[in-house]
Amino acid sequence: MIVGEELLDGSSPEAVLLRVIRRAWSEISSTALRRLAAAGLTPQQLFVLDYLCHQKAQPSELARWHHVGMSSMSSLIDGLVARGLVERHQDPGDRRAVLLTPTTAGREMMREGVSVLLEGAHHLLSPLSSEQREQLVQALLQFEQSAAFGKNRRNDNDREGTPAAESRF
């Protein structure tokens, strides 16, 4: 058994939430990532594209957000640039820095990635009746409204406390 796994075996709301999220994400992402890998997109590239589709970023910001070193992030970015999915631009606020933005092809690849994830979610929800799906949606929307997602996190680059780019997954 994995260390701490026994804590998720309980029926407390916290244990159930974590167990279901972990299992659902594992199911959805494993299928999706195999399909995205066939298209030549790594999970790391998908997450960087997702971030950039929400806001421009400097490579150092992406490295901090992704918890990797600058050399790893530079290689990842080089791959996205080489494939025409991301462009480098001079940062108007700091002429020494580079800002990254997704290209039209990058945004299309992101749409494809999200579509693949949604297909996985649809497959996972298919055993539920339409009434059960609606109840689940309502409960999740209520949870989303009441939870403080990202409200207490700060973007390392932002001294004003503006939340970092919100990911779709």
102 sits in which H/E element: strand 94-102
Q: Residue 81 corresponds to which amino acid? A: V
Per-residue pLDDT tens digits for 132-159: 999 999 999 999 888 877 665 444 444 3
User: If you average pLDDT over every residue of the chain, what do you get?
Assistant: 84
Residues in contact with 160: Cβ distance below 8 Å, sequence separation at least 6, in sequence order: none
105: in domain: yes
Phi-psi category of residue 77: left, alpha or beta, with phi > 0 → left and psi -120 to 50 → alpha:
alpha
What is d(CA 24, CA 124) in angstroms, rounded to the nearest whole number? 8
Average pLDDT over residues 159-167: 45
CATH number of the domain residue 125 falls in: 1.10.10.10
164: in domain: no
78: in domain: yes
Domains in the chain: how many in total?
1
Sign of CA dihedral 47, 48, 53, 56: positive
CB atoms near residue 57 (< 10 Å)? 23
Domain with 34 in it: 13-146
> Which pLDDT belongs to residue 7?
62
What is d(CA 94, CA 10) in angstroms, rounded to the nearest whole number? 51
| 52 in Cβ contact with 101 (< 8 Å) | yes
What is the pTM for the complete model shown? 0.71
SS3 readout for 18-72: HHHHHHHHHHHHHHHHHHHHHCCCCHHHHHHHHHHHHCCECHHHHHHHHCCCHHH
For residue 36, name the pLDDT band (cuts at 50, 70, 90): confident
> Which pLDDT belongs to residue 85?
96
